[in-house]
Chains A and B, each alone.
Chain A
């Protein structure tokens, strides 16, 4: 079977390439990674007027065929036919920002030299007009020798004409593809300027909108204040708006579990479905509301052009620990949940910056730690008031957050001096014009993120949850025996206990650590289960749990347990998403190892200091 004709959409960053790609292909897109690299491959299908399908691929935005980043290397390799997992495109659609021709034409000239059938989409002509710039596409067409179509991708203008031109291009015979580009950058740049100047019909200097907005948003005082306000609203939304959908999902899963429990006889199969599969799926999709809300904000910030400004404002501070301004929003997002935080690191161009950000993101205190923190603080820290209305309990909670932040900054500093040494392209970014992203593009972005999370991370999370279930359920306990002691998990807990005994952890904690790998808050229910099994006539309510803890744990042990949870990577979802985002097991394994090591040291130090202080 003949493969479909492959057309690549290619252009500079901020030329509106993705909007054009969305306009051509619609919502049915496939997103994956190119083999061996963490560069996203986005493809979709375009139906020509007579119904013939064409495969479209959206190549990473580039400034030229001389790559300055891994993304740009992929673009070059695909165009030259050297990229693993991709054939050479049959034709190109080059996207140009109409108001930035002198820069974008340079890359276009390079691409035209490749000799592939080519069409130029002269995009964002509306924004150019807004800035007082009038262009003549026929001059461009004459000078470049390829068809030029005016488009406004975000308003779907010129898309039908572009489709017709793609149809014509694919029907025409192809002559001579060159495999190397001859002209040097300086020559191309000069030629680009000449053509750009020739194409200008009229130019009225106007004070640009973008400049006016930037005077406020990048203001040395108002800029950071506005950023803080936006972050505050985003943070509130991620917590507050996700509450209701999360409880609906939990209710639905609980209803389904009950239904299955009612329909099936008790036994291993029912337990597998209810405690393994359904619990696993439930754990995965309860993350979904938070992920969608966070990404709604991120897509809006990205699409409007504000994200780059936020990075601009924060770059100096982040640079202090070897990160770039781009790491700010992913790290802040990780306070809600490290999973979307790590997924958001895709906006960081430099691979080492990005990897460092991924590796330290789990140190930000995510919402799953809160149940553990609240329970332990309520049980062990007296509710005394210190000066100025500050409570001791709140102070301890604050301390735990601060420890996480400092841990992350320190880890970043060490990583950048050690395994991830060396600087990349640093912080060099184009500040694009402000514009409002089309609703459809935002929805497509949300859909894509949801799919990635559910499919890729979901399979790993579900698989691991079932393994954890199997460990806890096999072999089945005989009457009079405790399931938690007889099972394989029970034996593993005994082995864990040997290791964690020196840092002050007791048997209850050892039993909770393995199931808490599914999610941190599971530690609470695991400990509750241990106590409810020990005293089956008492219901395991929260108060009872606190009383039990107070009776059985020393303060030193409780503090060590808190210190452990600041650092320990007890979250399969985070590990799974790290695997997906780094394209292999190497970095997730590294992350788990260094975080567990830190957790062990921190808990140990806390325990021994507390014991020495007589607590």
Chain B
């Protein structure tokens, strides 16, 4: 696995499509119980590699994101609660 070159941390909803990044933190209190639970089930947690794949046609929302071996769709608002550090391409 490549070591992160950028140390800058951004919210997942601002990560460009096709850019891989490592999750550095999730703002769990910003999410409701059910939402937080579902994100955990999808495998969003520190250290996991994620990559946005597709954006919704209206307002670029929701976002399809690759997490581990799964592709999941979440709304932009929820992606905003996940901070990531982009990996070198």
Contacts and interface: CB of A to CB of B under 8 A. Distances in A.
Interface of A: 63-64, 66-69, 99-103, 185-186, 189, 210-211, 214-215, 218, 220-221, 223-224, 308, 311-313, 315-317, 319, 325, 423-431
A181 to B, nearest CB: 15
B71 A431 contact: yes
A222 to B, nearest CB: 10
In the A-B complex, the 7 residue pairs with the closest CB atoms: A63-B41, A316-B58, A68-B37, A425-B34, A218-B54, A431-B71, A220-B57
A258 to B, nearest CB: 55
Nearest to A350: B34
Nearest to A425: B34
11 contacts: A63-B38, A66-B37, A99-B69, A102-B69, A103-B69, A313-B57, A423-B32, A426-B77, A428-B75, A428-B78, A431-B72
Interface secondary structure of B, over-half rule: mixed
B56 A426 contact: no
Contacts of B61: 315-316, 319
Given A102-B69, A185-B40, A186-B45, A427 B74 contact: yes
B68 A102 contact: yes
Contacts of B74: 427-428
A53 B3 CA distance: 56
Contacts of A67: 37
Nearest to B46: A186
B53 A211 contact: yes
Nearest to B60: A220
B43 interface: yes
B29 interface: no
A66 B41 CA distance: 9
Contacts of B42: 63, 103, 428, 430
B39 A430 contact: no
B27 interface: no
B53 to A, nearest CB: 7
Contacts of B53: 211, 214
A68 B34 contact: yes
B64 interface: yes
A560 B32 CA distance: 46
A311 B58 CA distance: 12
A103 B57 contact: no
B69 A315 contact: no
A430 B53 CA distance: 13
Contact of B57 (A64, A215, A223, A427): A223
A428 B45 contact: no
A421 to B, nearest CB: 13
B54 A69 contact: no
Nearest to B43: A103
A316 B59 contact: yes
B5 interface: no
Nearest to B33: A68
Contact of B56 (A68, A211, A315, A429): A315
B70 A428 contact: no
Question: Which of A101, A210, A429 has the largest count of B CB atoms less than 10 A from its CB?
Answer: A429
A431 B68 contact: no
Contacts of A223: 57
B73 interface: yes
A64 B72 CA distance: 17
A61 to B, nearest CB: 11
B34 A69 contact: yes
A427 B63 CA distance: 10
Given A69-B34, A308-B73, A430-B70, A189 B56 contact: no
Given A427-B74, A430-B72, A312 B38 contact: no
A426 B59 contact: no
Given A223-B57, A315-B62, A427 B73 contact: yes
Contacts of B70: 100, 103, 430
B72 A429 contact: yes
Contacts of B32: 423
Nearest to B59: A316
A87 to B, nearest CB: 27
B69 to A, nearest CB: 5
B55 interface: yes
Given A100-B69, A426-B35, A224 B43 contact: no
Nearest to B68: A102
Given A102-B68, A312-B64, A319-B61, 19 more contacts: A68-B41, A103-B43, A186-B45, A189-B43, A215-B54, A312-B54, A315-B56, A316-B59, A316-B61, A426-B75, A427-B62, A427-B75, A428-B35, A428-B38, A428-B72, A429-B72, A431-B71, A431-B72, A431-B73
A105 to B, nearest CB: 11
Contacts of A185: 40
